[in-house]
């Protein structure tokens, strides 16, 4: 049985379950980046996690808590791609068949890798269909457990494990975070990390970076009213273009998130180029949102020790080559 | 005073000097890579070192051993680029002015970053000029100490520190290397690493990967005769296209290197694309030579634990975008 609310205790239990299954991703530092922002930036490189994003953490934690019978029948998830890959890989590791409801226009690399892990894909049109309705119907018909992409206690707690690692890794470098900046879609990673940071390093402030037009989470926190994004707006950041924060994630974020920034496609492209040139890392648009916010000066890092999550690296080759080719 | 021959003891002394100055680069693992080669590959990611390559290690070790008077006058190095950056950065850290003799056609990113660290660049034509003659003349005129790119005890011992780290990091993962594969130009990194591996994990076999047409080091080891490469041949691997192994590096490599492979430009491009797609890492052609040899099956990893050095990531944006855009 899962608790009804995510907790720090749950994050620690997830960290135990993930031991030896998830990768311990490195916390990286770069002299050029530090010099540019006038602070000390420690990059939690979740692009190096299984399947190229942090999503494996939550997915594995969720699936590992299924009963033997549920596991045998399988799981269903809807996802723009990274969560799908995490669920497919966790399903493969744990012997649970996975069905993924995925937008037709998801990056090809994400669909391809879901298939490589043996999952079944059901495609939908993200401008006209409701993936949740489709997903719930199929899950009911086939008796599949759901693995929601963010609004789920096990998912939130699984994602929070990256902050547990990051705090310990920072201490190994003699550092305590003043701020921790997280790319934010539905808020699963943010809520989980914020719960961990609150206990482990209480003076650290949690910040979120959202795409322009999809900054309804910070809007919902700052205004006290539940906002929704207009999901017809175009953005490069497919992985975090969610229309609204979750019912479980929003209360945690309201309590613990101290600031937010909206990054433009241009901010994100500049961050991707910086990561290529100086960090030697491949970061996808949504995964670069936190770095983009810091590089654009939208979240101030001057004189501070700032954790920045690089949350995913699954970008299509043509898109990446296109971004590199644009000169500024 | 430096010893006349590189030694394991010297590598350990270098590791002490580099503590807190060089970055401890991560040892990375990837499920897709393991599955593809049927072994366990542990990637020493020196692309994440200061200035994007392992070269900072040797440069810092060399420069830290200059007398105060030598340091004040400054150092000179000739280099296709990565060593230049390492010397420039080490010079900046230690307050030693640096002069770099660099080919006119070195990747723009390398020249740009050398200048950013305050070094002076003297350009030469690598098809018609002899960089060593130019360098020695200027060093004599200005009273500069030399920082050779590979054939120097301090340089060799500095580069070897990466193997000391890698062996300890592998043990943290419960692994001992069966093989350790190193991109090889003049042999500084290879000789230093081989000396460390011999003592720290004696059953590990050291392998080198060289570019096609520039595989004279393995040729020199295998034949017992000193070979020279035809340095007019084109190769993508600018960083390791050296015409001959060094006088100090070759005897060490003869004693300790167990095998070698020559990789084609196509092998290297495939490795760069694999690193982009699955590893989320930016690797330059020369830096990808060891990975290319393993992926192409030229060095067998089946059923083995294999350390692979990703030695550098300084590739021009246009070159990288071009490699990504080629379909296979």
pLDDT tens across the length of chain A (328 residues) = 567 999 999 999 999 999 999 999 999 999 999 999 999 999 999 999 999 999 999 999 999 999 999 999 999 999 878 999 999 999 999 999 999 999 888 878 778 889 999 999 999 998 899 888 999 999 999 999 999 999 999 999 999 999 999 999 999 999 999 999 999 999 999 999 999 999 999 999 999 999 999 999 999 999 999 999 998 899 999 889 988 999 999 999 999 999 999 999 999 999 999 999 999 999 999 999 999 999 999 999 999 999 999 999 999 888 999 998 886 5
Instruction: Report the C-alpha dihedral over residues B122, B127, B128, B130, rounded to 10 degrees.
Output: 60
Domain B8-54+154-325 -> CATH class: alpha beta
Chain A and chain B share a number of CB contacts under 8 A equal to 60
Task: Using CB atoms, pick whichever of B89, B277, B281 lies closest to residue A280.
Answer: B281
Sheet holding A40-45, edge to edge: A27-28, A40-45, A305-310, A179-183, A205-211, A257-263
A88 CB within 8 Å of a chain B CB: no
Interface of B with A in 254-273 (CB under 8 A): 273
Task: Using CB atoms, pick whichever of B48, B276, B317 lies closest to residue A317.
Answer: B276
Mark yes or no for CB contact A26/B26 under 8 Å: yes
Domain A56-152 -> CATH class: alpha beta
pLDDT band at B150 (very low <50, low <70, confident <90, very high): very high
- CA dihedral sign, ordered B215, B216, B222, B223: positive
Mark yes or no for CB contact B282/A276 under 8 Å: yes
Q: What pLDDT does B126 receive? A: 80
Return the H-helix or E-strand segment holding A292. helix A289-295
Mark yes or no for CB contact B324/A313 under 8 Å: no
Task: Using CB atoms, pick whichever of B48, B281, B321 lies closest to residue A282.
Answer: B281
pLDDT surpassing 80 at residue B80: no
For the complex shown, is ipTM > 0.90? yes
Q: What pLDDT does B2 receive? A: 64
Q: What pLDDT does A284 receive? A: 97
Q: What pLDDT does A107 receive? A: 75
Task: Using CB atoms, pick whichever of A23, A283, A313 lies closest to residue B29.
Answer: A23
pLDDT tens profile B286-310: 999 999 999 999 999 999 999 999 9
Paired with B40 in beta bridges are B305
Contacts of A109 in chain B (CB under 8 A): 277
A278 CB within 8 Å of a chain B CB: yes
**Half-sphere CA count of B79, side-chain side, radius 13 A:** 29
Contacts of A43 in chain B (CB under 8 A): none
Q: What pLDDT does B238 receive? A: 85
Interface of A with B in 93-132 (CB under 8 A): 109
CA distance B191 to chain A (A): 26
Residue that the structure tokens 């890794």 belong to: A169
Q: Residue B283: closest CA among chain A residues belongs to which residue?
A: A280
Between the two ends of chain A, the Cα-to-Cα distance in Å is 53
A26 CB within 8 Å of a chain B CB: yes
Contacts of B47 in chain A (CB under 8 A): 280
Q: Residue A324: closest CA among chain B residues belongs to which residue?
A: B317
Q: What pLDDT does A328 receive? A: 53
Q: What pLDDT does B327 receive? A: 66
Q: What pLDDT does B98 receive? A: 97
Mark yes or no for CB contact B48/A283 under 8 Å: no
Cβ neighbour number for residue A196 with a 10 Å cutoff: 28
Q: What pLDDT does A327 receive? A: 66
Mark yes or no for CB contact B281/A276 under 8 Å: no
Q: What pLDDT does A25 receive? A: 98
Task: Write out the two tokens for A180.
Answer: 């921790």
Mark yes or no for CB contact B28/A50 under 8 Å: no
pLDDT band at B25 (very low <50, low <70, confident <90, very high): very high
Nearest residue to B181 via CA among B306, B304, B282: B306
Q: What is the Cα–Cα distance from B278 to B36, expressed in whole angstroms?
A: 11
Contacts of A50 in chain B (CB under 8 A): 31
Contacts of A318 in chain B (CB under 8 A): 325
CA distance A133 to chain B (A): 32
A35 CB within 8 Å of a chain B CB: no
Contacts of A29 in chain B (CB under 8 A): 23
Helices (H) and strands (E) in chain A, counts: 14, 10
Q: What pLDDT does A304 receive? A: 98
CATH 3.40.50.1100 placement within chain A: 8-54+154-325, 56-152
Task: Using CB atoms, pick whichever of A29, A48, A320 lies closest to residue B28.
Answer: A48
pLDDT band at B277 (very low <50, low <70, confident <90, very high): very high
CA distance A36 to chain B (A): 12
Global pTM?
Answer: 0.95
Q: What pLDDT does B328 receive? A: 53
Q: What is the Cα–Cα distance from B11 to B159, expressed in whole angstroms?
A: 8
pLDDT tens profile A136-183: 999 999 999 999 999 999 999 999 999 999 999 999 999 999 999 999
Residue that the structure tokens 């049927």 belong to: B38
B22 CB within 8 Å of a chain A CB: no
Mean pLDDT on B108-112: 80
Paired with B78 in beta bridges are B101
Mark yes or no for CB contact A281/B281 under 8 Å: yes
Q: What pLDDT does A95 receive? A: 96
Substitution target in B280, B311, B327 with the highest count of A β-carbons within 10 Å is B280
Q: What pLDDT does B122 receive? A: 94
pLDDT surpassing 80 at residue B178: yes
Task: Using CB atoms, pick whichever of A48, A277, A320 lies closest to residue B109.
Answer: A277
Q: Residue A112: closest CA among chain B residues belongs to which residue?
A: B277
pLDDT surpassing 70 at residue B1: no
DSSP reduced 3-state for A69: helix
């Amino acid at each position: 049985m899962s608790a009804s609310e995510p907790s720090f205790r749950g994050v620690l239990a997830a960290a135990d379950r993930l031991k030896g299954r998830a990768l311990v991703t490195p916390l990286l530092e770069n002299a050029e980046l530090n010099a540019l922002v006038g602070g000390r930036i420690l990059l939690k490189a979740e692009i190096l996690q299984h399947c190229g994003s942090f999503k494996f953490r939550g997915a594995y934690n969720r699936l590992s808590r299924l009963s033997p019978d549920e596991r045998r029948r399988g799981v269903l998830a809807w996802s723009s791609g990274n969560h799908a890959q995490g669920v497919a890989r966790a399903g493969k590791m744990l012997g649970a068949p996975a069905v993924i409801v995925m937008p037709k226009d998801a990056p090809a690399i994400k669909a391809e890798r879901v298939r490589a892990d043996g999952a079944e894909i059901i495609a939908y049109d993200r401008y006209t269909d409701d993936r949740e309705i489709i997903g719930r119907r199929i899950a009911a018909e086939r008796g599949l457990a759901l693995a929601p992409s963010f609004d789920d206690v096990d998912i939130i707690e699984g994602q929070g494990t990256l902050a547990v690692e990051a705090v310990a890794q920072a201490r190994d470098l003699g550092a305590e975070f003043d701020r921790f900046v997280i790319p934010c879609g539905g808020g699963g990673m943010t809520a989980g990390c914020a719960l961990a940071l609150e206990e482990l390093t209480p003076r650290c402030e949690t910040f979120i970076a959202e795409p322009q037009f999809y900054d309804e989470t910070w809007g919902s926190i700052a205004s006290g009213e539940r906002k929704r994004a207009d999901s017809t707006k175009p953005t490069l950041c497919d992985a975090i273009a969610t229309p609204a924060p979750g019912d479980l994630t929003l209360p945690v974020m309201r309590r613990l998130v101290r600031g937010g920034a909206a990054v433009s496609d241009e901010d994100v492209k500049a961050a991707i180029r910086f990561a290529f040139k100086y960090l030697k890392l491949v970061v996808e648009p949504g995964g670069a949102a936190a770095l983009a916010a810091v590089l654009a000066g939208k979240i101030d890092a001057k004189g501070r020790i700032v954790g920045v999550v690089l949350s995913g690296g699954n970008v299509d080759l043509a898109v990446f080559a296109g971004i590199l080719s644009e000169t500024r």
